[in-house]
Structure 1
Amino acid sequence: MVYEISETKKIGIGLIGFAILFSFLGVILFFDRGLLALGNLFFLSGVGILLGWQSTWQLFTKKLYLKGSIPFFVGLFLIFVRWPIVGIILEIYGAIVLFSGFGPSIKVFLSHIPVVGWLLQYPFQLFDHLRRLIG
């Protein structure tokens, strides 16, 4: 199965990649508030471009997802008002709750990338091989 990725989706994926980079640097550099804020802005704009603005709005405002979106935005607010450690913890919790439904789709997408797909499938292949040897 081949996935066709449009140019706007490539930009969205790139922005999410920059968000991960800036957030990682912000945590490594003792929770630098500016880098964490840039990472959050890149993440929100990347998700908006990747999913579409209306779908992103529905994702964050649907009653089912409020359990994840409220901590995410409270964490974002706390980063802006100089509480970066508590803010990043709330954001991580909110992001896990919000985007846990995308797990199977992300796994299928990553398994089709040449090196990453092999790295994801290797532990399962090794376990299956060991199971055949033992039993």
Structure 2
Amino acid sequence: MISITEWQKIGVGTTGFGVFFLLFGMLLYFDSVLLAFGNLLFLTGLSLIIGPRKTLSFFFQRHKLKGTSFFLGGVLVVLLRWPLLGMFLETYGFLSLFRGFFPVAFGFLSNSSNVPFLSALFRRLQGTSSMV
């Protein structure tokens, strides 16, 4: 069994609240304060889950610098109260940063799901992109 530290538990909660505030900010027509708060909570939670050193090494790998610059630039643009442009930049950066993670997540969800429609959907989405 994998042991989870207290800091990682706090990080999961913080990341969850960050995602909640991001979704709630988008629901309220891109409210810049909620989006900025969600961004800060998401980044803080991520660094609490995997640690500050691994977070920095993840974001600043040579092949991920383009995605990192778009993602962090989008966070900065949201903090400067241009929420729509900032969220577009963040979305592009997020998709390019976590591109390799999506097939793994879809594979995990399809294996753990017993719902026929969802498992077929996840199998189809998993086959579109390869980890290799």
TM-score bracket relative to the smaller structure: 0.7 to 0.9
Rate the CA distance shift 1:119–1:37 in 2: closer, same or farther, 3 A: farther
**Count of residues paired in the alignment:** 122
Alignment RMSD (CA, Å): 2.6
1:52 paired with 2:48, answer no
1:23: Cα distance to partner? 0.4
TM alignment of 1:14-93, pairs within 5 A: 14-93=13-92
1:61: Cα distance to partner? 1.3
TM-score, normalised by the number of residues in structure 2: 0.78
1:118 paired with 2:114, answer yes
Could you tell me which residue of structure 1 aligns to residue 97 of structure 2? 98
Unpaired runs of 5+ in structure 2? 124-132
The structure with more helix, counted as a fraction of residues: 1
Rate the CA distance shift 1:105–1:52 in 2: closer, same or farther, 3 A: farther
| Counterparts of 2:119 and 2:34, CA distance in 1 | 35
Could you tell me which residue of structure 2 aligns to residue 9 of structure 1? 8
CA contact (8 A) 1:111 1:120 kept: no
Max Rg structure: 1
Counterpart AA for 2:4: I
Give secondary structure in 2 for the equivalent of 1:47.
helix
Rate the CA distance shift 1:107–1:29 in 2: closer, same or farther, 3 A: same
TM-score, normalised by the number of residues in structure 1: 0.77
Unpaired runs of 5+ in structure 1? 128-135
